[in-house]
Structure 1
Amino acid sequence: MKTIKVIVAVLISSVMFSFCSAGEKVPQKVKDAFAKKFPTAKSVKWDKESANEWEAEFKMNKMEYSANFSEDGIWKETEHEISENDLPESVKKALADGFPSFKTEEMEISETTSGTVYEFEIEKDETDMEVAIDASGKITKQEMKKEESNKDDKD
């Protein structure tokens, strides 16, 4: 099942890259805003995130980041993966107390104009969830992820 998810993710990324590179040009306002906010960014790759938003994937300080900007160059969000050691104690406690015996698959820090949250993809048995927790330990998002079922999949 995870192999199928990876294949689907790669195909979607390829389609988005093809869409972006097949005529869609990153607006100059977006490029300028990005360069101003992230002057040390390296290996920048752009994708069209939605009809009105662009996403840059890049490296900075030996870490991989993504940042989103609106068509008019307004910064929306920056994300990057973090390790458990980077989590505040309040966030660790909220995750452990709120989701006992769940396994963390991925953790990121997300910075927006509204503030900073720690985002997690967690799983337990057949339950997959996306959770966001602010620095004070308040759970700001708790959403079940739906698995696509495939009758031929015997994993």
Structure 2
Amino acid sequence: MLKYGLASMLYKAVSWKQKLPCRAVIKSFNKKFPKAKYTSWQRMAGTVWEAAFLWQDKEHTALFDESGLWLETHTYMPLGNVPIAVRESFRNENTPEALVKVFQLKTPQGTYYEFQIYKGQDPLKMGYDAQGKRIENSIL
């Protein structure tokens, strides 16, 4: 009995340290991002997996839970590709010099835009919906 308990604990420890997610995650990823290239995986906090990859000539990261449920996708984008309403909202609140990066964030709830900026010495994330309405402001 003790032998099976130890074997079970060892299996769980090895599984936790694995470098690739389970089949459900891989299958869900391949369905959502067919023909993705150069995919690398990293286990995030808890049971979330992050894939970094090239798809449709753009760099992306996507999060999946262990059941294979897609949680979100981040895509880097130049400021010029951000919708005008979002860009104008950002410019009304910030100087272009403050901008570090812009990401398009897709979730099951919708599409958002995340601006990483510096206000003084503090790094901040500012989020907007597709209509330019502010939805987030938090310190990184």
CA distance in 2, matches of 1:43, 1:21: 23
TM-score between the two structures when normalised by the length of structure 2? 0.82
**How large is the RMSD of aligned CA atoms in angstroms?**
2.0
Whether the 8 Å CA contact 1:102–1:124 is kept in 2: the answer is no
Secondary structure at the counterpart of residue 33 of structure 1 = helix
1:110-125 → structure 2 map (5 Å cutoff): 110-125=105-120
Gaps of 5+ in 1: 1-18, 146-155
CA distance in 2, matches of 1:23, 1:30: 13
How far 1:102 sits from its partner (Å)?
Answer: 5.4
How far 1:128 sits from its partner (Å)?
Answer: 2.2
Equivalent residue for 1:49? Answer: 44
How far 1:98 sits from its partner (Å)?
Answer: 2.1
TM-score between the two structures when normalised by the length of structure 1? 0.75
CA distance change for structure 1 residues 131 and 97 in 2, over 3 Å: closer, same or farther? same
Gaps of 5+ in 2: 1-13
1:134-153 → structure 2 map (5 Å cutoff): 134-145=129-140
1:67 matched to 2:24: no
1:1-155 → structure 2 map (5 Å cutoff): 22-100=17-95, 103-145=98-140
Letter in 1 for 2:49: W
State the 4+ residue runs in structure 1 displaced beyond 4 angstroms. 19-22
How far 1:24 sits from its partner (Å)?
Answer: 4.8
May I ask how many residue pairs the two structures share in their alignment? 127
CA distance change for structure 1 residues 65 and 50 in 2, over 3 Å: closer, same or farther? same
Identity, % of aligned positions: 28
